[in-house]
Amino acid sequence: MTKPKKKESVIVAMSGRMDSTVTAYLLKNQGFNVIGVTLQFYGDEKEVRVNSAAENDDDVEFINLNPIKSDCHIEDLNQVKKICDVLEIPHYVVAAKKIFEDKILEYVVSAKIEGSTYAPCVYCNRVKLDILLEKADKLGVKYLATGHYGKIHWEAKSREYHVYSSSDAASDQSYFLSQLSQEHLSRMILPLSEMRVVDVEKMATLINYKFNLVRKKKKMCFMENPKLNELVESRTAESLRKEGGIYRLDDQSFVADHAGVHHHHIGEVIKLPEGQDHAGEMSIVKIKSSSHNIYIDYVDRQEYEYCSLDTFWSANCLNQSLPINAFVKMGIWEDYIPVIVYFKNNKRLVLEFCQMQKGALIAGELAVLFSSSTGGRIIGTGRVNGTGKIGNIIRAVESRPTEEKDIFSIDKVENEDFVKQDFDF
């Protein structure tokens, strides 16, 4: 992005952790008027009844209304305030609980009821930036900054801002920034974009505050929280939480009943009852929302050559007239996987993996496409809605993928359609 002039005001999203603190420290030392802002997504803890049909209070089960807190949750606002005092910058707290519930938690609950998944960290970052932009406008501030490891560049040819992966591949967070709009990107500053984590840790020693230097490689988010079932049951009608059966995928034989797909997830290990053939451990590889049935198999039996995506979002300049080579990430800490991208109509596309993939993808997983596996530009994102073997796909075109340099063009080209194909988990 265009480098802001010093002495400009900038809002820094303050979490009380090292990365955001060093971000604020660097910008202040560069002459910016830094304003710290913290978003509070949780209010006072309250309890609600689960069993409303109980005849007396002894039979009533109470649960926490806000049981789900990810590792990104800010536990101690006083700690953030203390850091801002050390940095000698003003600090604001924005109450955003209702926005968080409406725009994140409701989608998380819906995904669990359907047996699919959601990428709350990606969409939550977009919601955070929306709130910060609104706060910036109220304060008359043009720029905002975060402690993400990623890059934003203005491209003269496409006349758009694009997100690139960070210089520190081990801590790259460009995946989290993949759903940001041009309005977000045009006003964002990422001071850590050219830094490694070890450099940030050294910089933090210059600040008169003791940080916890033990970092979690993989942070727990909503979809992995063991208390997610409580949240689902507190926010949905019992009629939506359908019971169903657990079946073996290979012979469709019945294994057991289940109390609702929201209690289970793809990859969960299921121990077969004693006395059944091949008794032992299998994993959930498929959840069918239409029938509320769950299917299990041995993980090493599962493989796929393609996956289909819907709700595809991309830069306006992306040329979608021909297949392209790209790399896909299915999660923030997942590897880059080489794919061929085939564009379809109605914001849908198909990814053909260059090598057979093992395991099972989950409906709703967010796939982020990059132009390369090192320092790559984000091409677009889409939600997984099906997988299979490539022999089942009939293409309407036989064109070879374009080179990376031809992926982007200013003039948008209409899609060449594929033969109609439906995908179902």
Q: For residues 357 and 308, what is the distance between their CA atoms, to the nearest angstrom? A: 14
The C-alpha angle 177, 183, 187, rounded to 5 degrees, equals: 80
Smallest Cα–Cα separation from 273: which of 288, 299, 253?
Answer: 253
Q: Does residue 181 sit in the same domain as residue 109?
A: yes
Please state the rounded mean pLDDT for residues 228-251: 89
Q: Please check whether residue 423 lies inside any domain of the structure.
A: no
Q: Which of 187, 222, 257 lies at the terminal end of a domain, its last residue?
A: 222
- pLDDT above 80 (res 56): no
Q: Which two tokens stand for residue 424?
A: 């179902």
Name every residue whose Cβ is closer than 8 Å to that of residue 66 and which is 6 or more positions away in sequence: 42, 43, 45, 46
pLDDT: is 412 or 214 the higher one?
Answer: 214
Element containing residue 309 per DSSP (H, E): strand 303-314
User: Given this model, what pLDDT does residue 239 score?
Assistant: 87
Smallest Cα–Cα separation from 311: which of 253, 249, 382?
Answer: 382
User: Given this model, what pLDDT does residue 71 score?
Assistant: 57
pLDDT tens track for 361-395: 888 999 999 999 888 999 999 999 988 886 554 34
Q: Name which of 124-133, 212-221, 327-336, 406-415 the model is least confident about.
A: 406-415
Q: Does residue 295 sit in the same domain as residue 347?
A: no
Q: Does residue 195 sit in the same domain as residue 75?
A: yes
- pLDDT above 60 (res 47): no
Q: How many structural domains is the chain composed of?
A: 3
314 strand-pairing partners? 380
Q: Does residue 203 sit in the same domain as residue 341?
A: no
Of the chain, the percentage scoring pLDDT greater than 70 comes to 78
What's the predicted TM-score (pTM) here?
A: 0.82
Q: Please check whether residue 4 lies inside any domain of the structure.
A: no
- Expressed as residue numbers, the domain containing 204 is 9-222
pLDDT tens track for 294-334: 999 988 888 999 999 999 999 777 888 899 999 999 988 89
CATH of residue 131: 3.40.50.620
- pLDDT above 60 (res 417): no
